[in-house]
Amino acid sequence: MKRERMLPRITVDIIIETDGGIVLVRRANPPLGWALPGGFLDYGESLEAAAVREAMEETGLAVRLTRQFHTYSAPDRDPRHHAVTTVFIATANGVPEAGDDAKSAAVFSMDRLPAPLVFDHGIILEDYARYRSGETCGQIFPPAG
């Protein structure tokens, strides 16, 4: 019997900055909880195009990407499978409206985030807060081994 090779899935997540804070979506599918907007890369699509598409699909917002933030690859970051995500920071105007597989979408200040945050999005947002305060995000590169 031939064993199929398992490969990580490639995803994007978007920290959307808007008046009043950042946009999060409440997931309609497991794992349930609040998350950064994001999703899977389609074949033939760039990471940047996927980030813009996923933001629109999940929040109804047309975003402007301002920077590629970090890539997160811990094998257990997504309980469903090994997923590698590249996180983008973006800006948008308007009020988010849930779409696609989001149950709801809302703007939250960084000091009043909802719970639970799913996947490793709590870690990502801690890194983002440190970045915004000018600190180095030390846990981005854990020791090898």
102 — pLDDT class (breaks 50, 70, 90): confident
Evaluate whether residue 19 is within a structural domain. yes
pLDDT by residue (tens digit) across 24-52?
999 999 999 999 999 999 999 999 999 99
Evaluate whether residue 129 is within a structural domain. yes
Evaluate whether residue 117 is within a structural domain. yes
pLDDT at position 3 is 60
The pLDDT mean for the chain works out to 92
Evaluate whether residue 122 is within a structural domain. yes
Of all residues in the chain, what percent carry a pLDDT higher than 70? Answer: 90
| Integer CA distances (angstroms), 131 to 52, 82, 124, 126, in order | 22, 26, 10, 9
d(CA 1, CA 139) in angstroms, rounded, equals: 41
pLDDT at position 100 is 79
Evaluate whether residue 6 is within a structural domain. no
Q: Which domain holds residue 21?
A: 14-136
Evaluate whether residue 40 is within a structural domain. yes
| Integer CA distances (angstroms), 109 to 24, 47, 87, 102, 145, in order | 10, 26, 19, 19, 36
Evaluate whether residue 82 is within a structural domain. yes
Mean pLDDT of 107-125: 97
Ranges 4-8, 13-17, 61-65: which has the least confidence? 4-8
What is the DSSP secondary-structure string of 51-89?
HHHHHHHHH----EEEEEEEEE--TTSSTTS-EEEEEEE
d(CA 112, CA 132) in angstroms, rounded, equals: 16
Evaluate whether residue 7 is within a structural domain. no
| Integer CA distances (angstroms), 33 to 26, 28, 87, 119, 131, in order | 6, 8, 19, 9, 24
d(CA 2, CA 92) in angstroms, rounded, equals: 48
What's this model's pTM, rounded to 2 decimal places? 0.90
pLDDT at position 6 is 87
d(CA 84, CA 75) in angstroms, rounded, equals: 8
Give burial (CB, 10 Å; 0-12/13-18/19+) of 138. exposed
Q: For the chain, how many structural domains are there in total?
A: 1
Please report where in the chains the tokens 């939250």 appear, as a residue: 108
CATH code for position 77: 3.90.79.10
pLDDT at position 5 is 83
